[in-house]
Structures are given as structure tokens and as C-alpha cells.
Copies of this chain bind each other. A is one copy, B any other.
Amino acid sequence: MAFSFKLEAQDRTTAARAGRFTTRHGEVLTPAFMPVGTVGSVKTLTPDELRAAGADILLANTYHLYLRPGVETVRRMGGLHRFMGWPGAILTDSGGFQVMSLSDLRKVTDQGVEFRSHLDGSRHLLAPEDAIRIQDGLGTDIAMSLDELVRMPAVASVVREAVDRTVAWAGRGFEERERLRGEGGGAMALFGIVQGGTDPAERARCFAGLSRHGFDGWALGGLWVGEGRSLGLEMVEHDCAMFPADRPRYLMGVGHPVDLIEAVARGVDMFDCVLPTRNARRGTVFISTGRLVVKNAAYATDQRPLDPECDCYTCTRFTRGYLRHLFAAGELLGMRLASLHAVHQMVSLARAARGAVVEGRYAAFRAAFLEKFRSRATLTPAADGH
């Protein structure tokens, strides 16, 4: 098959790993941060900019693309890679998360999820088999199984039922991919998703059920939904301890720099999150020394780049003062330049983490990162513009 994962290094004193996997669209080095291209574009950015920022894999949202422009349009345009002009790898989500968060009239049954489009109110049924066929139709490199999420906090019986359904749906999705492969399709990798909220026993039970199938990788689902960082990281540690070493692990929806660094330390290989780019479009970016609200008036004559240590296009060419002006004036270029930095920052952070693992110094790397990130150095606006 087109997908293979190779574990290249393990840190000595933490559970951090370095690996790489190959897809039909190139290699992906892990740990990896995947910028989110919701509807077939990482908002404001071109594929070339994503490449220049170091990205080798993107995430695209199945729910959005299924509704618009539709799978048939993407297929006629040569698949999602050609459609959006992205030569690297693509991971698609199953659509389930967005059905839950965006659509109206959701109804979950054993069959699947019934919902109304948030765009035009049309009715749809997303069964686990559909989720696989849609992702295959988009031409993804890595597909995710349809899972059931529960809103937390939830009583134990609700969590248990969602785990049962997640296991059953994942099995049906896996069989659907086998069927597609029998027809010459389904070349994509398929990941299983562990649910079970913050109950380690349920998460273990979920994993045990899913393990009956030969999933190509493992996702940690249902976390970072309000349970708090320390409990979330406990679950990460728990799940990674039960996962096989020879498959990539993907912590869904996590994108804060500190979370990434801590989750890598516990054995996670892949991340995605819209927050870095969403915040950037609103005038806030992470830099190596913390969180910079560049739209603030205090930066109006600050001649430093967003991050004096960053070598992204934005930081090598523009000042905080100019960015601040663009945000104050509502100029799209501001969103764009901040987004570019944000993607570069997260992709580079994951890449730096990889380097530290390879060199067997992840614990020191993590400590240095955290100290610096919490220092808030360079965040204070310059007194006289310098």
C-alpha cells in the first residue's frame, strides 16, 4: 500500500518520537503540525507559501467539501490535490466533528448521522461507509473513521454508548475501504479514533474494540474540549502507552504551542488546529516568547518584526507597526501576513521538536522552549519605536 510509517528515533528521557511516513503525495516528517485548509484553502495562503513555511501535509474538512463544491466537482477537477494546487499530503477528517458543531437538526442513530446543511438547510445522512467513500472521492491520503463525539461533561452511560458506536462505525468504515480496494479504489490510509472522554477505562475499551482492524494510524479524539490541559495530557499519556509503536498517533484539534510540545513529550506524532490561523486573522500570533496581540495600538510604531527570531516571509519583511496599521485599517494583507507567520511558527515548532528527538535532547528542548515562551520577552512595546 501507498502508506507506510517508519519510526526513526525515540527520545531517551521522554516518550517523544521522530518518524516519517510516505504517502502518494510525498513524505511527511513527524512530529508534524498540519495547517487546516477547511474548504480547500488554508485561509489567505497559497500552496507555495505553505510549502515555503515547511508544511508537507494539510488537513481538509470533509463536511465542508462534501457540501461545497461537492465530491463530484472535486473529482471532475482531478481530485482535491489538483483542485487546490497542493502537491503535498492531505489528511481529511470524517466530517463527523463538523456535523456536530455546524449543522442543524443532527440526529445520531446506529445507521449514522442525519443533519441539515448549515449552507442551505438540505438534509443529508452521513453513514460511516459514506464518510469513507466521500474521503476516497476527494482523493485524500489519510482518511479518518466516522466517530461519535459527546458533549462533555457527559454521564458514563452516554460516553459508553458513544464508544460502542464509534467502534461499530469504525469497523463498518474499515470494511468499506476494503470493499473499495476490491474495486481498485481506497488507496488512502485509514486511521481509527479513540473516544471515551476522560475515562481511561473507556478509552482503553475503545482502543481494544478498534484494534480488531488494521488501522494505519491512531487518533486521539474527544480531548481539548474543555477538560483542561493537565487532564488532557493525562489522557494523551494513557492512550500513547497503549498504542503500538509502529503506527503514527494524531492528537486532533490541538494547536497551542505548549500543548504541542507537551503532547510530543508523551508520544504524539501529528497535530492540527485552526486556532493559530484564526487568531492570526484577528491580529494575534504566537511568537517564540509568547502571545503577541499585534493589533494593539501600543505597537503602532514598533519597528521590530512579529518575532525577531523568526525567518518567515512576514518577519523578514514587515514591522509590527505596519501589521498593526493593516489590522487597524481592516486590510486583508494583515490577516494574510499574520496567517503566514502563524503557519510557519507551528510547522517550524514541530520540526524543531523532531530535530531535538533525533538528537536525543527533547527534555532540554522542551524546558528551554517553555522557559522562553513564558518569558514574554519582546512582547513589551518598544518605547521609542525601536
Contact = CB atoms under 8 A, between A and B. Distances in A.
Interface stretch (A77-85, A163-171, A204-212): A77-85
Contacts of A385: 76-77
Contacts of A39: 325, 329, 331
Given A331-B39, A332-B335, A332-B336, A319 B77 contact: yes
B43 A331 contact: yes
Most chain B Cβ neighbours within 10 Å, of A47, A319, A333 = A333
A321 interface: yes
Interface in A81-135: 83-85
Contact of A333 (B44, B301, B325, B328): B44
A33 interface: no
A329 B41 CA distance: 10
A198 interface: no
Interface in A321-359: 321-322, 325-326, 328-329, 331-337
A318 B85 contact: yes
Identical subunits present: 2
A45 B83 CA distance: 22
Contact of A77 (B73, B303, B317): B303
A264 interface: no
Contacts of A40: 322, 325-326, 329, 331
Contact of A45 (B48, B328, B333): B333
A41 B331 contact: yes
Contact of A325 (B47, B69, B313): B69
A254 interface: no
A333 B77 contact: no
Contacts of A319: 77, 83
27 contacts: A39-B325, A39-B329, A39-B331, A40-B325, A40-B326, A41-B331, A41-B333, A44-B333, A44-B336, A46-B313, A46-B333, A46-B336, A46-B337, A68-B329, A69-B300, A69-B328, A73-B300, A73-B301, A73-B321, A73-B325, A76-B301, A77-B321, A78-B303, A84-B322, A85-B317, A85-B318, A85-B322
Closest 10 CB pairs of A and B: A41-B333, A39-B329, A44-B332, A69-B325, A76-B301, A41-B331, A77-B321, A85-B317, A76-B385, A83-B322
Interface of A: 39-41, 43-48, 64, 68-69, 73, 76-78, 83-85, 300-301, 303, 313, 317-319, 321-322, 325-326, 328-329, 331-337, 385
